[in-house]
């Protein structure tokens, strides 16, 4: 880990020197500020955490909304604890799969889902809305459901095991140990082995420690890129300020050359695409397509749309860039959660239609607009029924 930290600091200094050479307004105090933030982050990320094989922490929740409360983990029984949120599309999409597993292993495995971070989403659910949501899911959430205790749940589980994102599935084995942590869609094979007592916790623990440190390392580098190049983007309010895209690309190139996995990380990809839009739209299009096919695709869709909107205020956007943005709209629509409002979906189709039109694809523009109109008509009928 020490070698990685030293390498990170070296990246920072190289990029900062490059930045200073290209920006004569940069002050020495700015260099000190940028480099110290990242060192602090590294120190925090090296703190001790709980490991696989440790006894499961108590499951302290605020309220059990559905099913039978789990007050303790009994020896000889296997438990699955799922952490999710109503605003988390992948979480909601995984619920039918978890329900199928809960029915398959009924009597052998106890499944529970705990809602967390409801205050982070733009449509975060209140206690009443959470209950209504769970009720509306019906047999798609065919297991116990609870809401987090704001003082303990996230701290005891997600933070203690450095699980920074949801959905997050924990499996507690028959000895009361946390045996596995991962995505619910990867639960099947693991659960079979845990039930049969053939699961190797030590091997999984070693693998996870390496994966976590690697992922944290990339996150830190990605944040470093953002810290170093955001000064080059230009002022949003000044339509004549295009910033310094060449400087951005130079810093990114140096960082990615040393760590290739960084190329499509959220911040790195965002600033790369923005810079390419201003320096070479053809390369921006190629990079955007690659980012959409990367492991960070979901971030890319939103980022590309936002960047095209921002730059269209300052530059003439080529047709192929609008078509790229339209593809991102379609990807967002395809991956929207089932509980998305009709009005929101209609707006996405309408905006997508506009970009297909600007890109010169009239056929797709008309098709998207028709879908938007149908959705708004459906919304209107719903409103009329409510008023009646």
Q: Give pLDDT tens digits for 331-361.
A: 989 887 666 788 889 999 999 999 999 999 9
- Mean pLDDT over 54-74 rounds to 93
- Residues ≥6 apart with Cβ < 8 Å to 313: 239
Contact 66, 140 (CB under 8 A): no
pLDDT at 27: 29
Comparing 386 with 104, the larger pLDDT belongs to: 104
pLDDT at 337: 66
Its pTM stands at 0.54
- 3-state DSSP helix/strand/coil percent for the chain, to nearest 5? 60, 10, 30
Q: What distance in Å separates the CA atoms of residue 46 and residue 49, rounded to the nearest whole number?
A: 9
Q: What distance in Å separates the CA atoms of residue 118 and residue 150, rounded to the nearest whole number?
A: 10
Provide the pLDDT confidence category of residue 159 given band limits of 50, 70 and 90: confident
Instruction: Provide the percentage of residues in the chain whose pLDDT is more than 90.
Output: 53
pLDDT at 47 over 80: no
Q: What distance in Å separates the CA atoms of residue 172 and residue 276, rounded to the nearest whole number?
A: 48
Q: What distance in Å separates the CA atoms of residue 51 and residue 203, rounded to the nearest whole number?
A: 12
- Residues ≥6 apart with Cβ < 8 Å to 190: 171, 179, 180, 182, 199
Q: Where are the alpha helices (DSSP H) in 151-196?
A: 153-154, 187-195
Q: Where are the alpha helices (DSSP H) in 146-200?
A: 153-154, 187-195
Provide the pLDDT confidence category of residue 235 given band limits of 50, 70 and 90: confident
pLDDT at 128 over 70: yes
pLDDT at 34 over 50: no
Q: What distance in Å separates the CA atoms of residue 181 and residue 211, rounded to the nearest whole number?
A: 12
pLDDT at 31 over 90: no
Beta bridge partners of 79: 110, 172
Q: What secondary structure letter does DSSP report for 198?
A: -
Q: What distance in Å separates the CA atoms of residue 173 and residue 317, rounded to the nearest whole number?
A: 56
Q: What distance in Å separates the CA atoms of residue 313 and residue 250, rounded to the nearest whole number?
A: 25
Contact 153, 159 (CB under 8 A): no
The region that residue 151 occupies, defined by phi over 0 for left and psi between -120 and 50 for alpha, beta otherwise, is alpha
Instruction: Provide the percentage of residues in the chain whose pLDDT is more than 70.
Output: 83
pLDDT at 21 over 80: no
> What digits encode the pLDDT tens for the residues 263-298?
999 999 999 999 999 999 999 999 999 999 998 888
Q: At what angle do helices 297-312 and 319-334 cross, to 10 degrees?
A: 140
Coil, strand or helix: which one is 56? coil
Provide the pLDDT confidence category of residue 50 given band limits of 50, 70 and 90: confident
pLDDT at 216: 75
């Amino acid at each position: 880990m020490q070698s990685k930290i030293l390498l990170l600091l070296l990246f920072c200094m190289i990029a900062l020197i490059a930045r200073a050479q290209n920006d004569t307004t940069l002050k020495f105090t700015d260099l000190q500020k940028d480099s110290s933030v990242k060192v602090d982050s590294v120190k925090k990320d090296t703190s001790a955490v709980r490991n696989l094989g440790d006894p499961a922490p108590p499951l302290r929740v605020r309220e059990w909304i559905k099913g039978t409360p789990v007050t303790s983990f009994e020896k000889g029984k296997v438990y699955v604890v799922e952490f999710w949120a109503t605003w988390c599309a992948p979480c909601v999409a995984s619920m039918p799969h978890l329900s199928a597993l809960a029915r398959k292993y009924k009597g052998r495995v106890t499944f529970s889902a705990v809602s967390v971070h409801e205050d982070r989403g733009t449509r975060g659910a209140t206690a009443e809305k959470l209950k209504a949501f769970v009720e509306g899911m019906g047999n798609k959430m065919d297991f116990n459901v609870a809401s987090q205790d704001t003082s303990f749940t996230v701290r005891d589980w997600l933070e203690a095991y450095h699980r920074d994102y949801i959905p997050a599935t924990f499996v507690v084995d028959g000895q009361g140990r946390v045996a596995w942590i991962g995505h619910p869609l990867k639960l099947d094979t693991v659960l079979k082995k845990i039930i049969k007592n053939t699961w190797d916790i030590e091997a999984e623990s070693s693998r996870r420690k390496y994966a976590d440190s690697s992922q944290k390392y990339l996150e830190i580098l990605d944040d470093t890129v953002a810290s170093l190049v955001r000064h080059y983007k230009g002022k949003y309010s000044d339509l004549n300020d295009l910033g310094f895209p060449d400087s951005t690309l130079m810093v990114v190139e140096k960082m990615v050359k040393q760590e290739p996995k960084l190329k499509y990380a959220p911040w790195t990809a965002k600033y790369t695409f923005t810079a390419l839009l201003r320096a070479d739209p053809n390369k921006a299009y190629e990079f955007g397509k690659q980012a959409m096919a990367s492991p960070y695709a979901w971030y890319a869709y939103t980022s590309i749309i936002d960047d095209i909107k921002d730059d269209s205020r300052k530059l003439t956007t080529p047709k192929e860039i609008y078509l790229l943005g339209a593809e991102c709209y379609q990807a967002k629509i395809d991956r929207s959660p089932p509980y998305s409002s009709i009005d929101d979906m209609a707006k996405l189709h309408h905006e997508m239609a506009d970009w297909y039109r600007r890109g010169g694809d009239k056929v797709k523009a008309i098709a998207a607009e028709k879908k938007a109109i149908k959705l708004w008509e459906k919304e209107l009928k719903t409103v009329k029924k409510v008023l009646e």
